[in-house]
Amino acid sequence: MVNDFADARPVYIIDALDRIVFVNPAWSRFVAPARDQAPDLNGVIGRPIWNRIPDGVVRQLWELLYSRVRAIGGSVFVPMRVDRADERRLIDIELSPLSDGSIRHVCEPVWCEARPAVALLDPCYPRDARSLRSCMWCRRIQVRLGAWEEIEDAQQTLAIPADSTLPRLEPAACSSCKQSLLKTFPARVA
């Protein structure tokens, strides 16, 4: 854990009961909603990881990955977009089983780029009763059944004006991310 603490990559560990038992400073900076914002770590350590993961299909897919990592005893890599309003970010999360049923998550940054802020991704923006499905892995938005687009394109396609309120984003999994997650198995360790 000493090395994990100093790691420049965000690292967090859950125990066998899926409770967060360790996060490093890089993780705290990474999950802050804005750059240079002081992270709030109250209520992170000791709490179930499920407090941070939406119910439904998103949780089911994570549960599936965790059960495979624990049962097979090998690592998997999960690519994930973790955008901020003004920044696109792609990471690979490596899930590795530890001997006691814990799982270490190491977030390897793949790329990031700045962009004009997207109000739909601003957590402070007022929301109304409408909702849009947002894939928790690729961050695309469902524009109609079976069609998912990058958030800027979806705003155009759906003609969402910069209004005083916006639809809220409903966590979901698009079919291509779902398919690739269902096919994600750890390599068996000899």
Binding site for Zn ion (CB under 5 A): 135, 137-138, 174, 177
Strand-pairing partners, residue 22, are 13
Nearer to Zn ion, 59 or 70 (CB): 59
Report CA-CA distances (Å) from 41 to 45, 100, 142. 8, 25, 32
Least gap, CB of 134 to Zn ion (angstroms) = 9
Nearer to Zn ion, 65 or 174 (CB): 174
Nearer to Zn ion, 37 or 175 (CB): 175
Report CA-CA distances (Å) from 185 to 18, 76, 80, 135. 19, 7, 16, 21
Burial class (CB in 10 A: 0-12, 13-18, 19+), 126: exposed
The Cα 96–Cα 49 span in angstroms is: 16
Least gap, CB of 46 to Zn ion (angstroms) = 31
Nearer to Zn ion, 102 or 155 (CB): 155
Nearer to Zn ion, 30 or 137 (CB): 137
The 141-144 sheet, strands edge to edge: 147-149, 141-144, 127-135, 166-172
Nearer to Zn ion, 103 or 177 (CB): 177
Least gap, CB of 157 to Zn ion (angstroms) = 16
Q: How many CB atoms lie within 10 A of CB 46?
A: 9
Least gap, CB of 148 to Zn ion (angstroms) = 6
Least gap, CB of 176 to Zn ion (angstroms) = 6
Q: Work out whether the CA dihedral 61, 67, 70, 76 comes out positive or negative.
A: negative
The 87-97 sheet, strands edge to edge: 20-23, 11-14, 103-114, 87-97, 76-81
Least gap, CB of 172 to Zn ion (angstroms) = 8
